Structure 1
Amino acid sequence: MAGSYNQNSDPQLAIINLMIPYIHLGIDELDISPLSLIIADFGSSHGKNSIEAMKIFINYLQKTNKLTASPLVVHNDLPTNDWTT
């Protein structure tokens, strides 16, 4: 995951990390046990922060036993964004 966004996105990641307690509070309020979980991430650029945020969500969901199956995570951005490089 290279690219200028990833190289300059540490401030955004710092904010994501500051929000972890609030993310946990939000997840604590979710009742998703019988449902499949789909997470859509729109405007995910090259993905560095998107991947880290999804790790935070999924790890906490697993820790709190709120996942009954693997979640589906969909990252979306511009058609010119090549996630394979």
Structure 2
Amino acid sequence: MAPIPLSEAPLHRPVIVAGYAGEDFAIERFRELGFTLGTVLVVRRRAPLGGSFEVECRGLRIGVRAEEAATIYVLIPNGNGSH
């Protein structure tokens, strides 16, 4: 399965960080927050009208703007332990 932007990830379903797009400083900030390659994330909430996202990462819930979520690429595991 091809990576999709985090902004398109389904709610309450684990996804795996697969890559980034955008500015180097933004990518570095995501890494500092724990959004490193291979990390499992879960989108817990999505604000209406294209607003921000609440994303669970390593047991913490972090607010991510929609524009930022569009630059984080994730894989949706297929359910049998492989991706």
- Normalized per residue, the structure richer in helix is 1
Fold equivalence (TM over 0.5): no
- Normalized per residue, the structure richer in strand is 2
Rg (Cα) greater in structure: 1
TM-score (norm: length of structure 2):
0.27
